[in-house]
Amino acid sequence: MVQIQELLSGNIPSMQDFDEKPLCVDCGLMDYQHALSVQLELHERVANEELPALLLICEHLPVITLGLHAQHNQLLCSKEQLEAMDIQVVPTRRGGGSTAHNPGQLVLYPIMKLSAFGFRIATFVHAIEQLGMQVLKQTEVSTIRKARYPGLWVEDKKIASLGTQIHRGVSMHGIAINLYNDLKLFDYIVPCGIEGVQMTNAIREGGIRIPMEQLKDIVQASWTSMCLRQKQTNEN
């Protein structure tokens, strides 16, 4: 795994080393606006085949983000009130509606040309959800999918939110997995525009606390394996 500073400076191993697998990038704790600008820059470089497939791994400072579906972007207080609490509100072009990010939540952003690995949009979303399931399994929390509601659930409680954007055949945005974060931030929105939904995290569900650095290593191994397996399946 490389650090984001190494990737942006070009101080990384030869691209040839990553022709057949994604490059996982540790972004640490990153301001969301900065992370979004980095995603846009890297998306362009992946689309132009200047970089291999990437998976950005990060946490964010408190922020509320809005998706493309205006009817699903529901704030329960004004932007001015949120900004007074040092909570940014950032519009994006990903799918889905309003969601929240803060420290203790693991956020994964795949930036990859789907066709290079044989992904279609549905199988790609399924793979991201499967990656989230594997992360939460490490904390001893079992999750399920729900038809028509991307993300992951523990019974009727939502524990991971998913929203992607595909442009020029290359993905960006991804999945946010609630592990050890403060869930009060979700009280300021209707998460994903789903009335009455209850948010949860691994700790609330009785999960064990695994160090983030250990979980990042698991993400890297799991995502690499999943992408290579998908590529091999497609080639056969």
Q: Of the listed 24, 27, 58, 192, which one is catalytic?
A: 192
Whole-number Cα distances in Å, 168 to 48, 49, 127, 133, 171? 10, 12, 20, 28, 8
**Beta carbons of 102 and 182 less than 8 angstroms apart:** yes
Closest residue by Cα to residue 215 from 107, 99, 142 = 107
Is residue 192 annotated as part of the catalytic site, yes or no? yes
**Beta carbons of 153 and 166 less than 8 angstroms apart:** no
Give the residue numbers marked as catalytic. 192
